[in-house]
Homo-oligomer: A and B are copies of this chain.
Amino acid sequence: MKSTAAAPVVYIEEIASRVGQEVTVRGWIYNKRSSGKLQFLMVRDGTGTLQVVVFQKNVSAPLFQAVDRLTQESSVVVTGRVRADERAPGGYEMDASDVQILQVAEPYPITPKDHGVPFLMEHRHLWLRSSRQRAILRIRHEIIKACRDFYDSRGFTLVDTPIFTPAACEGTTTLFETRYFDDTAYLTQSGQLYNEATAAAFGKSYCFGPTFRAEKSKTRRHLMEFWMVEPEVSYAELDDIMALAEEFISEIVQKVVVGRRTELATIERDVGRLENVRPPFPRLSYDEAIRLLQEKGLPIQWGDDFGGDEETQLSQQFDRPVMVHRYPSKLKAFYMQPDPQRPEVALCVDVLAPEGYGEIIGGGERIHGHDLLLNRIQEHKLPAEAFRWYLDLRKYGSVPHSGFGMGIERVVAWICGLEHVRETIAFPRMLYRIYP
């Protein structure tokens, strides 16, 4: 949309380079105050917020009155000269010479008063316009970009794995299913099995896409639909992917700290805690973790799985993520390679974020022997026919290989210091919510 004036249209993020020039900004009223002959409009355009000053003497009387009636989120195209002014929020303001009003918004449902979460979720499509939600989603964008850049710059090939799958990767109880013409398809829970095929083709590969779990649980760490990044490396063993995970997480966090300092300030995140996140991360065997939890007084025995409480307790012991390795095989998925020194434990690792954020990465070495894998598939009563292609990978040049999956929403929650994953994605899908 052109303005009616001849000034160039600019985004607020570039306003500092426009001082002294007449420009047009297109956006929405975020806030407004008036003092008689002056009106101060806080205009947001999605890239920033700019104070626009409308002097009564600079515009027609009807326009000045119309500006006075502007409501929150009304859409406006403002033209005027940009001025540096220390008193203005952000350091710049615009002296308006013209205000074009596109729509005076109806009374905006989200006001500065405290709304309950259900109300905000019901209005998620509007709630996204708030400074806080925008800051979180920009940090999410930075995290996703950092993930991709990490693998792209290290010679990994991105290979998108399918959403529709003929079989469950980790059991069938938490699968969403759909009619696929005359067949049934399940929505993927992980791209890992397919990554194992692509890692044999490309050496190093990764996938990054949405995954699904129909878990009938309402916790602050679960969504039904969440995004995962999953690297897989042929010839890599447990130590190799622990080193990769450590380097990966550190790079992401430091990129956010540098690139999204403004947004971290907006949401009042303690950046000092993030700056700690550098290698080496503490490594703890499952055995050591059990002893530590028992010392803390938790009623846990060797062989028990960790729940939210145990993860929180463990992760609070360290100022950076902790890598817990070699869980009992029976707690883990069927494809985990047993430790040759101690076959009752698996060559696997979970990475727990600090500050009580729990598991953000799970991975390990995959079984590469054909017969052992076939036994495990049978023991787990999985449909062998659906895994025929997966077993093939163990017939034609099988090699040790390892990888992991990292859940993006949990990482966003941790890096942003959020209480609940529901704010980490634009339109969260929860137990009782698929709207909007």
A residues neighboring B (CB under 8 Å): 1, 11, 13, 26-29, 45-47, 73-75, 77, 102-103, 105-106, 108, 123-126, 128-129, 133-134, 137-138, 140-141, 144-145, 148, 152, 155, 157-166, 176-181, 183, 185, 187, 194, 197-205, 209-210, 212, 214, 216, 224-225, 227, 234-237, 386, 388-390, 392-393, 395-400, 425-427, 429, 431-432, 434-436
Contact = CB atoms under 8 A, between A and B. Distances in A.
A181 B217 CA distance: 11
Given A141-B157, A181-B216, A201-B128, A163 B103 contact: no
Given A46-B234, A145-B148, A125 B393 contact: yes
A161 B158 CA distance: 20
B181 A157 contact: no
A134 B178 contact: no
A181 B128 contact: no
The number of times this chain is found in the oligomer is 2
B434 A203 contact: no
A199 to B, nearest CB: 8
Given A161-B427, A177-B178, A225-B163, A397 B13 contact: no
B396 A73 contact: yes
A178 B183 contact: no
Contact of A426 (B161, B235, B399): B161
A425 B194 CA distance: 12
Nearest to A436: B389
B102 A1 contact: no
Contacts of A227: 160
A432 B73 contact: no
Contacts of A397: 28-29, 73-75, 102-103, 105
Given A26-B234, A29-B397, A105-B395, 18 more contacts: A1-B236, A1-B399, A11-B203, A28-B200, A47-B202, A103-B399, A105-B396, A126-B197, A140-B158, A145-B148, A160-B227, A160-B425, A162-B225, A164-B225, A166-B434, A176-B180, A180-B224, A388-B436
